[in-house]
Structure 1
């Protein structure tokens, strides 16, 4: 028996390499192969899906005459169970049977599809690409090639076709490098996200009437939605899963909608639009939310509308706004706002959102405010660190935030950090920036750690409270000890002042060596004896000019009795909210500076999630004896080499 996965790979190779090598080479740039291959792959799959009922559907639609289109769509859905259809008498094989007017015939065929998927071909720019091939006299060959591919549901089920489509995208966008990462999330990362998401689903998932909604506001190619659906179906094949998505980029939207269609999804499952300025599912919440928003996306073009919405109390962006140079936390806040509220029997919404490290600790007011909201509302269930080099468009460290509106009792008021950065295998052949993959056994390690919670291996899991991520920045200073010392520099520092005269020089010189703290009294008194006036501004300036650090002097205070901070000693000590300030200072500051002081009243509260710090394990330093042994060995080797050179 033929291995289905092997069959899929062979089909993929024909679709990609045969098409590219024979028909696209020297016609379009290599990095654009996917822009031509993917639309024809979609077209052939849809054609094969409709083939068995095509003649009946055409006859049935014709019988309705001038009936409004949306009513015809409903009738076709009721009679044939089809959410889309084609009424053209043509197909790829018919078009390929003659080599005249191929471009016109292909356009007529595309126009025959129902209106609810017409935007797929527009987003693919199908007609323009067909013209490029026609002008190069290659369109007929490409149409004929795809007409021979068996992409029927009988030969390739939805899962098999999904594998083919994914592999096509892998290969087609490998040449595009980082561009592929704009809208495609690797399946191994998605599978981990989904496995963790559904791990805590409530008991109603097993019901014959179970229903779940899944939403992705940055849907890309639709992979997250489809993998979530597959996982839920494995849990209960009777569960009714409804998918919802929104995508901004036309090409990604076309891929996402097409991918859902070729795997039996609804034509309207993904909508096109900018999630940040127009939530096309406003007012709706969902059981599951998955998202891989773009890292470092500049949202300045959307700033006016986002800030306007943020002014509405309780709106998705009302909790804080990040810098316009990076909109990740806007998407994180949006995802949190789309979660179904807590209900009975443990029901509630759960989300998995990919980010880079920035949202963990970005110190601006906006990100801090968003994190504070998530922490105070106890929405953060877990954060998992993924291995580097996991994504097609970036090799940087990535994390998955898991949010939950109805945590299980044992997880309430707690946040689990799981370090999955070491759970990876090397890809035999890199694809863009992706050089590593997370195989099933490695995903299982992380899922088991999540399920074990407080009993998980501490080497990869930590369970903390929101307060562990909150801190106070307490100003720490050392009070200066100052003596009075006169010099020419003092005169130089004061001579530009209008209230300073030559007569003041002798007065200041007479004060040399007097206690610095007494200058507010001694300077005016000495000046009065000399018949001179000393405004308070001149007193302050003179004190500053005459000041010289002296550890034997008393602690210095200003004319108003305020402590004088020693130069270079105005610092901030970050203290976790879980620690007592005085105890912290006694343990971590005073042993190194016994006369350090602090002012809790001027502390600033903040938060951060220093993920790597919780898993840091200092390595034991080598002993001096070991180092000496290595040096002696190296010196011996060098001596031998010098001797050999000299004797040679």
Structure 2
């Protein structure tokens, strides 16, 4: 991560007397900060690196503070406290930020402070959105983005390692999707690197390094590079908990070389920011009901809470005389049953009439569409569905939302992909949402054909033969 952070600052790091600042909001015992210091001094002994960090655990904080003091750093630059609830460096920005935040850890302890800051909008750190309380990784991602030195002051870079959920969790309009949207639409995501599994002591899950940059090189502007380094590892002689592999010097050199080359290959894919955007549309189908006054349906009338202001006993008493004929048209049924109720002294308001015929109705594909007071078809909530439409669907413009053609693309998709299968469906455009996700695994998926059936049969026959031999031994 340190190599990737410094990769774009090669010339600046060899200038005499250069000063750089590095910040880690989850500093732990200071390992990442120390490594960044060693890396920079190895490239330029005259460089000066100022290290800053914040740590929530008192013991780790004390170790980090004393370690940096021994290295000649200012110990006052290490702060104790919850980074999400209480930023100890308000208003400060840095040249480099790096972090390994906790995965899948809830932020309930900081919830009030975080939500209060979210209400400030983009004046705070969490303006773009909030993830679920069960996992605070993306809050640290937003915090780090806020700590990058502004573009006008030379810009900043971020390296953060997280698990796979921030790539895709949360649908369109969710806090997670809105965070990804903000980062991508502001062209901050430069690269994402998939690390090998079994890299960490306490977990074997997939992890990814995100590299953010607010002053990308010209060739990287508007682009995101995905690097699959999941096979770049060396097996350890002895496992340490769940950690079974490590990234060797040769592996690291190869990963950084892939990043520097910025070319498409088997392990490197380059995308436009908009490639990760999509619209989620809501597809509605009409409600079709038949109506009858059967005993089963009358029991639903008796239990309908929306008819509590009516004498439901009287209703159930009057309706059986209407008969059990089945009607497949709402207007026809409403007119006839309304006349029957009126002649028996029962009057209902429009909402009560609606509640009544819904209680007396059952879904029927052969029935006519149920329509509202304006003559529009009522949607059937049980048939409601959603579709995700990529911004670049069918080679259409990826900037469609910006130039006003989003509606045209959505309608074209619907006509081509949905209407042929459900001719009576329509789109509720008021529910259309924009989402962003980064389906990393999908882009590097390689199809592996299944084994031939003959080979599988041979294996099964072998196992069956072994079982039979064992059974014969038992019987003997």
In 2: Cα distance, 1:267 partner to 1:213 partner: 12
Match among 260, 272, 295 for residue 488 of structure 1: 295
Q: Deviation of residue 350 (structure 1)?
A: 0.6
Aligned to 1:609: 438
Q: Give the drift of 1:225.
A: 1.9
Asked if the contact 1:288–1:349 (Cα under 8 Å) also holds between the matched residues in 2, the reply is: yes
RMSD (Å) for aligned C-alpha atoms: 3.3
Distance verdict in 2 for CA 1:555–1:540, change over 3 Å? same
- Kindly indicate which of the two structures has a greater share of residues assigned to strand: 2
**What is the deviation of 1:526?**
4.9
Please show how residues 420-499 of structure 1 align to structure 2 within 5 Å.
420-453=229-262, 455-457=263-265, 459-495=266-302, 497-498=312-313
Per-residue CA shift, 1:610-636, capped at 9, x if unaligned?
Answer: 3323333444356xxx43674477458
Q: Secondary structure at the match of 1:375?
A: helix
Q: CA deviation at 1:485?
A: 4.4
Q: Does 1:383 align with 2:196?
A: no
Partner residue of 2:51?
Answer: 243
SS state of the match for residue 230, structure 1?
Answer: helix
Q: CA deviation at 1:498?
A: 4.9
Q: Does 1:598 align with 2:405?
A: no
2-structure distance, mates of 1:637, 1:606: 50
The 8 Å contact of residues 449 and 456 in structure 1, kept in 2 or not, is answered as no
Q: How many residues align?
A: 446
Q: Is the 8 A contact 2:198 2:242 kept in 1?
A: yes
1:334 and 2:143 are equivalent in the alignment: yes
From the superposition, tell whether residues 544 and 360 of structure 1 become closer, same or farther in structure 2 (CA, over 3 Å).
Answer: same
- Counterparts of residues 37-186 of structure 1 (less than 5 Å): none
User: For residue 33 of structure 1, what is the aligned residue in structure 2?
Assistant: none
> Matched residue of 1:418: which SS?
strand
Q: Quick check: 1:478–1:596 contact (8 Å CA) kept in 2?
A: yes
Given that 1:245 and 1:269 are in contact with CA atoms closer than 8 Å, whether structure 2 keeps it comes out as no
Which residue does the alignment assign to 1:523? Answer: 337
Partner secondary structure for residue 75 of structure 2: coil
Change (3 A) 1:619 1:499: farther
The corresponding residue for 2:94 is 286
Q: Check whether the contact 2:264–2:270 (CA below 8 A) recurs between aligned residues.
A: no
Question: Secondary structure in 2 aligned to 1:266?
Answer: coil
Deviations 1:226-255 (A, max 9, x none): 222232234333333222233332322233
Q: 2:158 aligns with which of 338, 351, 371?
A: 351
RCO greater where, 1 or 2, for CA within 8 Å and sep 6 or more? 2
Alpha-carbon distance in structure 2 between the residues aligned to 1:317 and 1:434: 33
Check whether the contact 2:64–2:78 (CA below 8 A) recurs between aligned residues.
no
Residue 568 (structure 1) aligns with: 382
| 1: CA distance, partners of 2:124 / 2:414 | 41
TM-score by length of 2: 0.81
Q: Match of 1:383, SS? A: strand
Query: What's the counterpart of residue 403 of structure 1?
Result: 212
Q: Is the 8 A contact 2:28 2:64 kept in 1?
A: yes
Q: Is the 8 A contact 2:329 2:370 kept in 1?
A: no
Counterpart Cα distance in 1 of 2:454 and 2:346: 70
State the 1:218 CA deviation. 2.0
Q: Distance in 2 between matches of 1:581 and 1:541?
A: 34
| Superposed displacement of residue 385, structure 1 | 1.8
Superposition deviation, residue 269 in structure 1: 6.5
Distance 1:199 1:334 in 2: 22
Contact 1:503 1:532 in 2 (8 A): no
What's the CA shift for 1:418? Answer: 1.8
Shift of 1:270: 4.5
Partner residue of 2:396?
A: none
Shift of residue 283, structure 1, vs aligned partner: 3.2
C-alpha distance in 2, partners of 1:309/1:550? 51
Deviations 1:503-548 (A, max 9, x none): 3322253x534534422323324555x5554524554244324434
Larger CA Rg, structure 1 vs 2: 1
Task: Indicate whether 1:502 and 2:317 are aligned.
Answer: yes
Cα gap change, 1:566 to 1:338, in 2 (>3 Å): closer
Considering fraction of residues, name the structure with more helix: 1
Q: Tell me the alpha carbon deviations over residues 332-382 of structure 1, each in whole angstroms, 9 at most, x when there is no partner.
A: 2221122112248xx421110122233333428443443333223221111
Counterpart-to-counterpart distance in 1, 2:119 and 2:99: 25
CA deviation profile, 1:295-328 (whole Å, cap 9, x unmatched):
2344333344444444445222344344444332
2:19 corresponds to which of 211, 225, 232: 211
- 3-state SS of 1:500 partner: helix
Q: Give the direction of change, closer, same or farther, for the CA distance of 1:636–1:609 in structure 2 (3 Å limit).
A: closer
- How far off is 1:499 after superposition? 5.5
Paired with 2:264 and 2:378, the residues of 1 have a C-alpha distance of 51
After superposition, the C-alpha distances for 1:580-637 in whole angstroms (9 at most, x for unaligned) are: 3234335554455454332122223333333323333444356xxx436744774587
Structure 2 unaligned residues grouped into runs of 5+: 304-311, 394-408
Quote how far apart the aligned CAs of 1:432 are: 2.7
What is the TM-score with the length of structure 1 in the denominator? 0.61
Inter-partner Cα distance in structure 1 for 2:157 and 2:339 = 75
Q: Is this contact kept in 1: 2:293–2:320, CA < 8 A?
A: no
1:271·1:280 contact (CA, 8 Å) conserved in 2?
Answer: no
| Residue 291 (structure 1) shift | 1.2
Larger mean CA deviation between 534-543 and 600-609 belongs to 534-543
Write the distance in 2 (CA, Å) between the matches of 1:216 and 1:359.
19
2:315 partner SS: coil
In structure 1, stretches of 5+ residues that fail to align are: 1-192
Pairs within 5 Å for 1:18-33: none
Q: Does 1:361 align with 2:168?
A: yes
Partner of 2:391: 577
